[in-house]
Structure 1
Amino acid sequence: MATRRAETTQESRRLLIGAATELFGERGYRQTTFEHIAARSGVSRGSIPWHFGNKEGLLAAVIEHATDTVRASFSAVPPGPAGLDRALAEVVDFTRLPSTRLFITLIAEAVEPGSPLHERYADLHRSLREQVQSWLATIELPPGIPAEHLGTILTGTVMGIHQQWRVDPESVDLDKTYATLRTLLSAGLRI
């Protein structure tokens, strides 16, 4: 009986995180209510504080899940120059996920003074940069190009491409844009 209850609890938590991810991406954090999340997930409204404490706890779980998804996709990227094509393919696949709309929507709220999103979003950005920097540490960079700064540039580039594609998908060809980025990186890093 306890096993079934644990499975139901995990399934409810998964459904709530999925619904909140979609709704925060569509409506923003502040405009999304527990009622919206309950209706989308099919899980009772009262379960949300039981699982997460409050809305900020749910936000933390959503961002943690998004961060874990990024880490998992990059953990499959081979080290060294051979990993470039795989890394960019992972980025393209990740960009196309509906849940990545969350990153674009939350940035507007995260930069507002006193926003509960600010520190969590900063942690997400740090995690993304760390993933890129860990891959860059496996290749020989040209002299004078620190992995830390190049990681920030690449993370910002990918986020900017993603934002442009989300705003105007008919004008931004993800595959061709990332192929061009790959060509630039190969030439600049001599890989």
Structure 2
Amino acid sequence: MTTRREQTSHESRELILAAAARLFAEKGYRQTTFVDVAERSGISRGSIPWHFGSKEGLLLAVLERSVEAIRAGLSDEAPDVAAGFEQLTRGVGALFGAPTTKLFVTLLVEALEPDSPIRGRYAEIHAVLREHCRRSLERLPLPPGLSAEALAVMIIGAGIGIHQQWLLAPDRVDADAALAALRTLVAGLLPPGAPGR
């Protein structure tokens, strides 16, 4: 049975993680301080290292939580080609409209550094997304010579690129329209008469 103290500790941890995720997405990892996280979460600054050990530990916990949320939101249930296509196109829109996407795009530059503490976790996030996309694509009648794996890399890359452009210039980039265009392009790969075409 969970004690009140354990419940309070869990609630504090969740508030810290939520606040840190928003701040990392807004300001980036390097510019975010424990003071920022404490102010945003309403939890004392001293509680943060107690829960996570260090700022790097906090960042890794935020990314782990995000990976779990993505995995929980991805379903492999698709009984037929039409359902598979519908799931894929809905998934593309939902995935790149998720709050976690802003976090991933903001942290991209830091993840690319060879000694980055998040490089491996970031690569895992991309692998999870590509694998889900690949499994969805394998249910569709793709043209000969076009692998589901290569197409998954393209779709995930396009979605991240669209979101990155939108974050840099939201007044000049219509992310919804661009994602709709991506879905239309994927639909165009299906043979004439195929469900979803």
1:107 and 2:108 aligned: yes
* Deviation for aligned residue 1:96: 3.6
- Runs of 4+ in structure 1 displaced over 4 angstroms? none
8 A contact 1:28–1:105 mirrored in 2? yes
TM-score (norm 2): 0.85
- Kindly tell me the number of residue pairs found equivalent between the two proteins: 191
TM-score (norm 1): 0.87
In the aligned structure 2, how far is the partner of 1:67 from the partner of 1:173? 26
The code of the aligned residue for 1:180 comes to: A
Secondary structure of 1:29's aligned partner: coil
In the aligned structure 2, how far is the partner of 1:15 from the partner of 1:87? 32
Q: Deviations over 1:115-136 (max 9, x none)?
A: 1121221111111111211212
Matched residue, 1:157: 158
Alpha carbons of structure 1 residues 76 and 45: separation in structure 2 relative to 1, 3 Å: farther
Matched residue, 2:187: 186
* Deviation for aligned residue 1:114: 1.3
8 A contact 2:76–2:136 mirrored in 1? no
Alpha carbons of structure 1 residues 86 and 98: separation in structure 2 relative to 1, 3 Å: same
8 A contact 1:85–1:182 mirrored in 2? no
The code of the aligned residue for 1:88 comes to: T
In the aligned structure 2, how far is the partner of 1:58 from the partner of 1:149? 34
Unaligned runs of 5+ residues in structure 2 are none
Matched residue, 1:30: 30
8 A contact 1:110–1:121 mirrored in 2? yes
The code of the aligned residue for 1:45 comes to: R
Unaligned runs of 5+ residues in structure 1 are none
Secondary structure of 2:189's aligned partner: helix
Matched residue, 2:82: 81
In the aligned structure 2, how far is the partner of 1:85 from the partner of 1:166? 27
Alpha carbons of structure 1 residues 181 and 104: separation in structure 2 relative to 1, 3 Å: same
8 A contact 2:130–2:156 mirrored in 1? yes
Identity of aligned residues (%): 49
